[in-house]
């Protein structure tokens, strides 16, 4: 499997419009330090699956025939705004696996265009070709699913947006070793009002319990980037355009 981060930012990711902080200034002068809405492209077994779709350049990035589906964690704008632009197309229908959320996002589920929404329930695993996907419940301000994705002996989990994890989700995650965990971490330690996202201490505690072979933090806000730069604390934050390879162990 190969996971390419298309975005690693929260809704307050650097550069925040009008913010004079050092992280936002750095992101304005060095585009490699800017963060787009959190999303990733998973390539596995010849399939190309988009995880979340908040970017607004998706139609340009993914011409007809270049995507096999979208795993949508939830219907907040920073995760699904790009779908509003991808739906009006003459290209082939595009499956979108998503949680049951009657509110959805604006008119997205009413006027679907080429999108084919398929509602998923936590624990009900399904297959996309040879790939098994198990949705897991996350803890957020509206219905949100994480995705555990398995192919052969390779197993990864994408867990955003969430603050903490329910025990039933830990049970699924801990049922077998994890090669990679991608986890929501929006705030510096001790943030007073985390509002549905992990702070750094909470994210590190989850990673310590899951003990994956590799881990990346995503959905970072500018104040976390500022904290990390000022403190020098090392942690496993992802960067936009970073590629993580997960390879089955050889003999």
Comparison of 74 and 155: residue with beta carbon closer to Zn ion: 74
Minimum Å gap between C-beta 5 and Zn ion is 14
As beta bridge partners, residue 97 has 71, 118
Output the six-digit token pair for 9.
């930012």
Q: Using the minimum distance from each CB to Zn ion, give the nearer residue, 23 or 178.
A: 23
CB of 104 to Zn ion, least distance (A): 14
What's the min distance (Å) between Cβ of 122 and Zn ion? 17
Shortest Cβ 119–Zn ion spacing (Å):
18
Closest residue by Cα to residue 180 from 209, 215, 146: 215
- Distance between CA atoms of residues 58 and 74, nearest Å: 17
Identify the CA nearest to 71 among candidates 106, 92, 47. Answer: 47
Specify the residue, 21 or 91, whose C-beta has the smaller distance to Zn ion: 21
- Of the pair 78, 240, the CB lying nearest Zn ion is at 78
Integer angstrom CA distances of residue 89 from 55, 83, 104: 17, 11, 21
The tokens for 45 are 């077994």
Using the minimum distance from each CB to Zn ion, give the nearer residue, 114 or 142.
142
The minimum distance between CB 87 and Zn ion, in angstroms, equals 20
Name the site residues for Zn ion (rule: CB under 5 A): 16, 19, 21, 24, 76, 78, 161, 222
Sign of CA dihedral 196, 11, 137, 189: negative
The secondary structure of residue 170, as a DSSP letter, is: H
């Amino acid at each position: 499997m190969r996971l390419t981060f298309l975005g690693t930012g929260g809704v307050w990711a650097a550069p925040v419009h009008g913010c004079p902080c050092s992280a936002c200034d750095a992101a304005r002068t060095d585009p490699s330090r800017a963060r787009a809405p959190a999303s990733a492209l998973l390539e596995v077994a010849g399939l190309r699956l988009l995880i979340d779709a908040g970017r607004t350049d998706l139609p340009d990035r993914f011409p007809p025939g270049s995507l096999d589906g979208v795993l949508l964690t939830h219907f907040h704008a920073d995760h699904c705004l790009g779908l509003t632009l991808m739906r009006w197309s003459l290209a082939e229908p595009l499956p979108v696996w998503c949680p049951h959320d009657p509110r959805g996002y604006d008119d997205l589920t009413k006027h679907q265009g080429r999108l084919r929404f398929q509602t998923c329930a936590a624990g009900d695993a399904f297959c996309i070709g040879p790939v098994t996907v198990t949705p897991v419940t996350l803890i957020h301000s509206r219905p949100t699913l994480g995705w555990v994705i398995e192919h052969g002996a390779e197993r990864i989990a994408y867990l955003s947006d969430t603050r903490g994890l329910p025990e039933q989700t830990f049970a699924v995650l801990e049922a077998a070793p994890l090669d990679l965990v991608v986890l929501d971490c929006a705030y510096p330690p001790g943030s007073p009002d985390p509002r549905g996202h992990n702070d750094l201490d909470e994210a590190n505690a989850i990673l310590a319990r899951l003990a994956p072979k590799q881990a990346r933090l995503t959905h970072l806000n500018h104040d976390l980037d500022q904290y990390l730069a000022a403190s020098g604390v090392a942690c496993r934050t992802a960067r936009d355009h970073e590629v993580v390879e997960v390879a089955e162990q050889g003999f």
